[in-house]
Structure 1
Amino acid sequence: MQIEVWSDVVCPWCFVGKRRLEGALADFAHRDDVEVVYRSFELDPSAPQHGHELTSVVLTRKLGRSVEEVRAMQQQLIDLGASEGLELRLHDNVHTNTVDAHRLLHLALETGGPGLQRELAEALFAAYFTRAEDVGDHAVLTAAAVDAGLDPERVAAVLASDEYAGAVASDVAQARAYGATGVPFFVVDQKYGVSGAQPTEVFAQVLAQAWTESRPALQTVGGDADACGPDGCAI
């Protein structure tokens, strides 16, 4: 079973959703048969590559709220993240471009499969939210990628080019085709769409339903009848 996760590495709800999905998978009997793949979604493609403006300041303009109101909203999410075991330094995050981070996630998937890609996704979330680093900065991206296990030379080559830019655009287009206007957005076996950082219980229900429907139990019809077995045939 495959789960595709559309997310952005500067989206706090994506980090929360990641943890909740992982919680559901931890209790899922068939978790070893589930493949999780991350797909790209840019919340703000127009954001500067090297962000210097705090996200809270940017949100005041977008939402038409005061800085105090935005920080109060952020604090609520910080507290919620803490309940999921996450440290979210939302007051310290800068507004930055994420296309290069997404290109590296495609590199990780192509060269190391979903496992390596998940390691990089976790490293990027930690860099941005736990350490409040600028994930538009190539030095930050390189450190996260190498720590996750990617080849330093390939990382440098990708960051020096526009490699995988087409794959990023394709992911965004597919999200739009599914009707997703925000992230996180989860697609299970290309059949079930889950929008937002749903509670762990919701993910658990979707996993169970998708597994059952893709591998239905055998329905036995009719009662006992004459048959042959290891000990011979009934007469």
Structure 2
Amino acid sequence: MKVEIWSDVVCPWCYIGKRRFEAALARFEHRDDVEVEWKAFELDPSAESADASAGGDDYARRLAAKYGTSVEQARQMLDSMTAAAAEEGLDFHFERAVRANTADAHQVILLAAGHGLQDAVKERLLRAYFTEGAAVGVRDVLVDLAAEAGLDREEVRAALAEDRHLAEVRAEEAEAAALGVRGVPFFVVDRRYGVSGAQPAEHLLAVLQRAWEESRPLTVVGADTAAGACGPDGCSI
């Protein structure tokens, strides 16, 4: 069974959703038969990346401007999000978050897929952004983070210099639009079910179980499966 997850590395609910999905998968009886693929989605394709020297350039003010709220209301929203993350064992520090365009981060995640390291790289980038305040929109930073997750440093550097996976990023984003994805995380299970948002682990588990049951035929048992049965061509004797 395949689960495709559209998400962004600067999306707080995507990190929370990742933890909830992992909790669901850990409880799923057929987890070893599940293939997980991370798909690209940019919350703000027009975003300009800053470097670490900019520090956390007041995430609350940016959030307030985006949603048309007061800075105080935005800070309350961030406090609630931080508390929700803590319930999943995550340590969010929005005050450290550095503005980033994430197209290159998605290129690195796609590169990692070919090495069986996609989840490790995805996790490293999420933690770098939300906990450590790393500038995940800066290529040199991405090279270092990807190397920490197990990718070859020079291969990552060359892939980014060539924009080797940029067309794939755009294709995955177009695919999301075609599927009607308007927000992330968005989970697609066996191209049978779509789940929008960081749903509770119990809900995600129920979807996994339902998709598994509906996509697997019954196992017929018995020494002679044709005995004592009738079909279009007649009955067994």
**Same fold, judged at TM 0.5 (above):** yes
**Is 1:17 matched up with 2:21?**
no
Q: Distance in 1 between matches of 2:41 and 2:67?
A: 21
The 8 Å contact of residues 24 and 201 in structure 1, kept in 2 or not, is answered as: yes
Among 95, 98, 104, the residue aligned to 2:102: 98
2:127 aligned partner:
126
Q: Which runs of 5+ in 1 are unaligned?
A: 227-235
Q: Distance in 2 between matches of 1:132 and 1:89?
A: 8
Cα deviation for residue 38 of structure 1 reads: 0.2
Cα deviation for residue 139 of structure 1 reads: 2.5
**Is 1:49 matched up with 2:17?**
no
RMSD: 1.9
Q: Distance in 2 between matches of 1:61 and 1:117?
A: 33
Cα deviation for residue 216 of structure 1 reads: 3.1
1:147 aligned partner:
148
Query: Any idea what the Cα deviations from partners look like across 1:57-107, whole Å, max 9, x if unmatched?
Result: 221111111211101100001001001000111232122110000000111
Among 54, 68, 82, the residue aligned to 1:64: 68
Amino acid of the structure 2 residue aligned with 1:88: F
1:230 aligned partner:
none
Between 176-185 and 51-60, report the one with greater CA deviation. Answer: 51-60
SS at 1:172 equivalent: helix
Between 132-141 and 144-153, report the one with greater CA deviation. Answer: 132-141
Amino acid of the structure 2 residue aligned with 1:5: I
1:175 aligned partner:
176
Query: Any idea what the Cα deviations from partners look like across 1:86-143, whole Å, max 9, x if unmatched?
Result: 0111232122110000000111112x13xx0000000000100111211101222111
2:188 aligned partner:
187
Cα deviation for residue 36 of structure 1 reads: 0.5
SS at 2:95 equivalent: coil
**Could you state the TM-score of these two structures normalised by the residue count of structure 2?**
0.89
1:5 aligned partner:
5
Amino acid of the structure 2 residue aligned with 1:214: S
Q: Distance in 2 between matches of 1:179 and 1:74?
A: 27
Q: Distance in 2 between matches of 1:57 and 1:155?
A: 33
Q: Check 1:93–1:19 CA distance in 2 against 1; reply closer, same or farther (3 A cut).
A: same
Q: Distance in 2 between matches of 1:142 and 1:180?
A: 29
2:26 aligned partner:
26
Between 122-131 and 50-59, report the one with greater CA deviation. Answer: 50-59
Amino acid of the structure 2 residue aligned with 1:85: G
2:80 aligned partner:
76
Amino acid of the structure 1 residue aligned with 2:153: P
Q: Distance in 1 between matches of 2:220 and 2:161?
A: 57
Amino acid of the structure 2 residue aligned with 1:47: A
Query: Any idea what the Cα deviations from partners look like across 1:144-181, whole Å, max 9, x if unmatched?
Result: 10011111111110222221110000010011111011
2:231 aligned partner:
none
The 8 Å contact of residues 144 and 153 in structure 2, kept in 1 or not, is answered as: no
Q: Distance in 2 between matches of 1:161 and 1:57?
A: 35
Of all paired residues, the percent bearing the same amino acid is 50
**Could you state the TM-score of these two structures normalised by the residue count of structure 1?**
0.89
SS at 2:187 equivalent: strand
Q: Distance in 2 between matches of 1:211 and 1:134?
A: 39
The 8 Å contact of residues 40 and 102 in structure 1, kept in 2 or not, is answered as: yes
Q: Which runs of 5+ in 2 are unaligned?
A: 222-226, 229-237
Q: Distance in 1 between matches of 2:175 and 2:59?
A: 27
